[in-house]
Structure 1
Amino acid sequence: MLWARCSQSRYGNELTGRPRWQDVHPSRQRECMEELRCQVCVQQPSRTELGYLFLATQQDDRSTDSWEGHLTAQPPLCLEHAKAAVEECGHLVRAGAVALRVRLPRLYGVIGTLHRTGPDGRPEPVEFDSESARTPLPYRKRRLTPLFLASQLVRELRGVTVVDLDDLISAAGALRARP
């Protein structure tokens, strides 16, 4: 799998700048998804016996038990940055966020751009409608798709429990306040 590359703002080994919620950096997204790290601070995400904390965009046609098997390109989060995400991330603010605890976030595939060999022998991107362009390529089909430039890693969420983010944050605050 070929991976898209782009520059990062770094000071030494530290990333700099504020989170740009809409613009996911390909290598940071990949690192956080592969290692199950918080997508903002690249530290350990929130994890309990119910699993890792993921956020998803609220969808009207989903009931609380229908998140099993959900595909996501959004890495897990620590509690601090989950709170920031629901307050600052545009699509989560507009549509609403659902907090999910996930026991088994399985690697599924990638999102990217399919290429074909052009008339001059060079790769050229294949144009799709916007929905098809966001459809992940499962890893099991990667050998059938030799010219694919990946930009986001995708996980399939298994063992999903819908949780209340405010309750998680309150409980964490109560634990810290104990003497």
Structure 2
Amino acid sequence: MVHPSRQRETMQDLRCQVCVVQPASRTASGYLFLATRPKEARERDWPEGVLTWQPPLCLDCAAIAIEQCPHLSRSGAVALRARVPRLYGVVGTLYTTGADLRPVPAQVSEEARDLPLPYKDHLLRPWFLASQLVRELRGVTVVELEREIATARR
């Protein structure tokens, strides 16, 4: 898990989520992100337009992340290059007004709890505490990370 402040900073500035100081790896094909293919994803649709709250990575840290992150190693990491990683919205907690007029967490379904709030809908949710930025990846290419690392080292 990435600390919310660190996640926001690295996602906003497109810096590596692991080492924080390096800019994320960027080539003509775009910024480097790691993802796992959802079970319901269709081959021709995925990964174009995928929403992610995982910040991008530099090449060195991407290799380390695949080795050391249990989720990525267990689910099978896919390296993606996104030419247009546009800010989409936020993930967080929706609040409502309680009996004493103070905010209280709203009761939401399990599915809705994990859905990001798009920036275009933020006015419909005046009591929303964001914990992570979300980017929509456009112009996405699936790449072989080992080949990318070898090319960068030459």
Letter in 2 for 1:119: A
Of 128, 137, 141, which residue of structure 1 is paired with 2:108? 128
Of 56, 73, 91, which residue of structure 1 is paired with 2:35? 56
Query: d(CA) in 2 for partners of 1:99 and 1:126?
Result: 36
Query: d(CA) in 1 for partners of 2:40 and 2:133?
Result: 25
Per the normalisation by structure 1, the TM-score is 0.81
Q: Which residue does 1:70 correspond to in 2?
A: 50
Larger deviation, residues 102-111 vs 54-63: 54-63
Would the aligned equivalents of 1:65 and 1:162 in 2 still touch at CA under 8 Å?
no
Aligned-pair distance for 1:65? Answer: 5.5
Aligned-pair distance for 1:40? Answer: 1.0
1:44-82 alpha-carbon deviations (Å, 9 max, x no partner): 111100000000013344326521100000111000110
SS at match of 1:83: helix
Q: Which residue does 1:155 correspond to in 2?
A: 135
Q: Which residue does 1:139 correspond to in 2?
A: 119
Q: Which residue does 1:10 correspond to in 2?
A: none
Per the normalisation by structure 2, the TM-score is 0.94
Q: Alignment length, in residue pairs?
A: 152
Aligned-pair distance for 1:38? Answer: 0.5
Query: d(CA) in 2 for partners of 1:128 and 1:81?
Result: 36
Query: d(CA) in 2 for partners of 1:58 and 1:70?
Result: 10
What percent identity do the matched residue pairs reach? Answer: 61
SS at match of 1:128: coil
1:33 and 2:11 matched: yes
Query: d(CA) in 2 for partners of 1:39 and 1:159?
Result: 21
Which runs of no fewer than 5 residues in structure 2 stay unpaired?
none
Larger radius of gyration: 1
Which runs of no fewer than 5 residues in structure 1 stay unpaired?
1-22
Larger deviation, residues 85-94 vs 127-136: 127-136
Aligned-pair distance for 1:130? Answer: 3.0
Report the RMSD for the aligned CA atoms in angstroms: 1.3
1:102 and 2:85 matched: no
